[in-house]
Amino acid sequence: MIADPLVLAVVLIGVMFLFLLSSIWIGVSLFLTGIFGMLIYDHHLPPAISIINKIGNLLAGSIFDSLNSWSLAALPMFILMGEILHYSSISSKLFNGLVPWLSKVPGRLLHINVAACSLFAAVSGSSAATTATVGKITLAELNKRGYSKSLALGSLAGSGTLGFLIPPSIIMIIYGVLADVSIGKLFIAGILPGLMLATAYSCYIMVVATVNKNVVPATLESFTWEERLNALKELVPVLLLIMVVIGSIYGGFATPTEAASLGVLFSVILAIYFKSFSFAILKMSLANTIKTTVMISFIIAGAGFLSQVVGFLGIARALSEFIAALGLTPLMLIVVVAIMYIILGMMLDGISMVVMTLPIVLPIITLAGFEPLWFGIFLVFMVEMSQITPPVGFSLFVIQSISGESIGYIIKATFPFFLIMILITAVVTFFPEIVFYLPNQMIGK
């Protein structure tokens, strides 16, 4: 039996990683870790049945509380919308619409990954869906036209993570539910940081293309203004979808859940209009949506139970008091937390990283004076980094399956964009008003 909450926290973290390394499902690992913590804690309860009853009551209550949220209804809707776009021809129109407008910019079509990912992220909500959809459209075309393979892969990996930062975002929905933060405010707060990150990626591409002329083909494609204006027609479907989803939330006409439903309806209408919708596409989209939603819900339920256990055993309070006693400045604390998340990102996927650590980290962060809304955006940046850090960087695997390149080559190509992500995270940390500006404008209305 263990009575010290700090010792118990170390033991539980070790047990959790043992479960994960044993290839047990993440949700099951969370449940088992919580049950193990309850069993080894010194409850001073003589009969074993008392402990079992407490575990049962805590288990039932936490599962109900964590999943009984109307906000979670937005999750399958955004996933379904991304799946429909992925299988329809709407996504390919992004490439056709952007090509004429990028021909004169330094780096030319290398910017297409950044632009296409930014636009698709605004209607997808998933980093994997954004990376896969845009990558299938752009990589082969860029390679055929003679652009730098390394820069094309790196920009896709970096820009694909915008699916988590530019709203709507699955991670933001999960964070909002677990941290009791307005999902609408999180969506709006992610817009400026997301645009900043996309701009930083494009600036890097322009610098590299200016210094090294070999990253772009020698032949220069030229387009007339008439061709450019005609190409805008290809972007109209995606822009309309963005207006429907984000505009309805920002304008106060719909909640995130209602906006997600509108997005699904509008994506189906567009797919039918462009004759790229069929029963087979609907069947695949629904099947993938169900699988993804059930997986995430199971993880959320396990995280909810572990969160209850952490609170019941006094671990969160003990850790908060311990870190407060260290006398760390808020800046030092956030640096330590960032390093922790970068390390965790090498072993865990983004969703697991959030739901496993939030019960322990959020009380410490709020005690240090950070706003939960700002920390939600900071955490999304950390999740984005986890998507492109080996060995469990999911975006790296997606790109490998599309390109056929080795993981080592992709990691090397991605590294500069990983550093850019760290830079923008630092900017958002030193200037938190970037996160609060748009939500405050929304409240002002």
The verdict on residue 298 lying in a domain is no
Q: How many domains does the chain have?
A: 1
Instruction: Please report whether residue 333 resides in a domain.
Output: no
| Cβ contact 204:159 at 8 Å | no
Whole-number pLDDT of residue 49: 56
Spatial neighbors of 154 by CB under 8 A, at least 6 apart, are 413, 414, 415, 416, 417
Residue 360: inside a domain, yes or no? no
**Residue 98 domain-assigned (yes or no):** yes
- Quote the CA–CA distance of 84 and 65 in Å, as a whole number: 31
Backbone angles phi, psi at 41, to 5 degrees: -75, 145
Residue 400 in any domain: the answer is no
Residue 86 maps to a domain: yes
User: Most confidently modeled of 84-98, 315-329, 361-375, 430-444?
Assistant: 361-375
**Which of 101-105, 248-252, 280-284, 414-418 has the least mean pLDDT?**
248-252
Indicate whether 365 belongs to any domain: no
What's the mean pLDDT in 260-285?
88
In a domain, 240, yes or no: yes
Considering the chain, what percentage of its residues have pLDDT values greater than 90?
Answer: 19
CA atoms of 365 and 411, how far apart (whole Å): 31
211 contacts: CB under 8 Å, gap ≥ 6: none
CA distance 200 to 239: 22
Residue pLDDT, tens place only, 208-224: 999 998 888 877 777 88
Residues 296-319: b if buried by 16+ CB within 10 A, e if exposed: bbbbbbbbbbbbbbbbbbbbbebb
Task: Domain of residue 104: give its range.
Answer: 70-292
Mean of the per-residue pLDDT values for the chain? Answer: 82
Cβ-contact 32, 24 below 8 angstroms: yes
